[in-house]
Every structure is written in C-alpha cells, then in structure tokens.
Amino acid sequence: MGNAGRRMKFLISATAWITLLGPIGFAQSPAAPSQEANAPAFEVATIKPSSPEARGSGFWINDDNIELTNMPLTGLLQFAYNLNPGSVDQIIDGPPWMGSAKFDVNAKEDAQLATRISKLPHEEWIATLRQMMQALLADRFQLKVHHESRELRVVALTVAKGGAKLTETKPDSHNGSWTGLRSSKGKIEGQGATIKTLVGVLSSKQEIGGRLMVDDTGLSGKYDFELTWSPEDLAHTEGDAGGPSLFAALQEQLGLKVETKKSPVDCIVIDHVEMPSKD
C-alpha cells in the first residue's frame, strides 16, 4: 500500500476536558533520537498548548506526520503505549495536569523514513509510529514509565452462548478496498478487522460509560461484519424506538456479549513526567 492509502483519521474525540494550561511554553526543535540506535524517529516535532477556546480533539495520521489537536497527555499515552482509548484506568499515578492540560502536536517524519515505513504491513506501521511517539514523549515530557499488571474492574467482551456470528476474512478478499473499521453513530462496519480493534472502538461509545473494556473472546482472526444499534440518546425518539441497544445488537448480530468483572490488565505506571519546557 502506498503513502496515499495510508492517510487516515485515526481518532476523533468530542470529549471536552477542562483546560489548565499552566506555565507551558512553545516547544519546537528536532525530535530526539530513539533510545535504540538507528531506531525510527520523527525528524521534527512541534508541541504547544492548545487554545483555551478549543472544543473537542482530533488525532490524524497522515502520509508523513502525526497531527493532534487539543489532546491531553493521557491521550498521547493511550496511542503511544497501545492502551484502551476509552478509559484512563491503565495509566497509574502522575500529576492531575496529565488529563487536563491540552496540547497541539505535529510530529513529522523525514521523506526517506516516511517512504520506508509506509511499505510495512499495517500493524507494523502503526507499531512503529507508537514507538516513535514513546521516544518523543520521553524527550519532550521527560517521561519515564514502567509496566505493571493490575487487577481492575473491566467490561469484558466475550463470546455469547451459541458462538460468534462473524465471517472470517478470506485472503485477498479486500484487495483494492479499505480494511479495518468504519464507525458512525449507531453503526460499526468491519472489513478484515480484528476483535481488539473492535474493542477499541466500542470502548469510546457512550454506552460503555468510560469504563475499561477488554477483549476476552479468544478470537484472534480478522473478520467482516456489520453492527447496527440505536444509540442511547436516540433510543426513545421516533423511528429509533424499535432498534436494539448496543448490548443486544452485539449478541444478536455478532454472537458477542459484555460482562463486568475483575481482570489482570497491563498498565503503565508514571515514574516521572514534566511539562514540556521552552526551547
């Protein structure tokens, strides 16, 4: 897949956090090299406080850069460390400003690196970008973390009685077309999508309520499916009253269900972090 096919809107969140800017300056300089020799790194990165008037937030992965608007550090950590995007429960410790202070970030790759990593399989490409973001956060925020397994209360996606109702993607069945997930209000469509990706999208839905959602299905393949439901805020309006809830739709249409329980979860513990300094 060439560069043009890689351009994507990775994440959009309409969540409005309280903006607490504090003594943050404008930061722009060449991004520090990764801790590993010759590891991919952004050529240049700009980090600045978001406008106090900004509403919502955005995260775009483009041909040669990652661009974020009005995003807290917790959001950057969720991408960099592949954490659940709908909950901050996997981020342990750290000062309150990590979730309240907002930043605009533009991290750009040099042309040679952008071309090279664009040829990687999708999962490897995203994993490389995550590692590059980890190095950037370590440099600009002086971030130091370690991993721990913690017992947390989660919303687990499991296979319902009777088995999953998913169509496994056939090899080369989507050549020349998009793969992954498309999500809109009351609808998720998957083509060659993993259940882990589905959980990531579901976790941001209002029905989950910001709780930590995990994949306990044991399904490791790629699947084609369509899930439709009546969102909670539309469930009682004319024309939508007869639609299933998200939880009913998951069971009826995909053969999956959710249950609340305690489960060991990989978390990152914040050992040290600082506001980005003025250059």
Same domain, 9 and 134: yes
Domain match, 186 and 237 both = yes
Boundary-marking domain end, from 132, 148, 164:
148
Residue 239: left if φ>0, alpha if ψ -120 to 50, beta else—which one?
A: left
Q: Is the pLDDT of residue 6 over 60?
A: no
- Cα–Cα distance, 105 to 73 (Å, whole number): 11
Per-residue pLDDT, 28: 38
Is 277 domain-assigned? no
pLDDT-derived band at 174 (thresholds 50, 70, 90) equals low
Kindly tell me if the per-residue pLDDT of 15 is higher than 70. no
Are 15 and 264 within 8 A, CB to CB? no
Distance of alpha carbon 242 from alpha carbon 251, whole angstroms: 16
The CA-to-CA distance between both ends of the chain, in Å, stands at 38
CA dist 222 and 215 (Å) reads 14
Whether residue 201 contacts residue 189, with contact meaning beta carbons closer than 8 Å, is answered with: no
For residue 32, is pLDDT > 70?
no
The label of the residue with tokens 């991004």 reads: 31
- Residue 207, in any domain of the structure: yes
pTM of the shown model: 0.74
Residue 203 counted as domain residue: yes
Judgement on whether residues 189 and 125 belong to the same structural domain of the protein: no
Last residue of a domain, one of 148, 163, 191: 148
Same domain, 118 and 210: no
Over the stretch 184-243, which tens digit does the pLDDT of each residue have? 889 999 999 999 999 989 998 989 988 999 999 999 999 999 999 999 765 444 444 568
Q: Among 34-43, 92-101, 137-146, 181-190, which stretch is predicted with the lowest mean pLDDT?
A: 34-43
In a domain, 132, yes or no: yes
Same domain assignment for residues 143 and 22: yes
Q: How many domains are contained in the chain?
A: 2
Co-location of 125 and 35 in the same domain: yes
The answer to whether position 39 is within a domain reads yes
- Which of 87, 120, 148 is at the close of a domain? 148
Q: Are 167 and 225 in contact (CB under 8 A)?
A: yes
Q: Which of residues 14 and 10 earns the better pLDDT score?
A: 10
Q: What is the pLDDT of residue 99?
A: 95
Q: Report the 10 Å Cβ neighbour count for 8.
A: 13
Per-residue confidence band for 24, with pLDDT thresholds at 50, 70 and 90: very low
Domain that holds residue 187: 150-264
241-263 pLDDT per residue, tens: 568 999 999 999 999 999 999 99
Per-residue pLDDT tens for 106-164?
Answer: 999 999 999 999 888 878 999 999 999 999 999 999 999 999 999 999 999 999 999 99
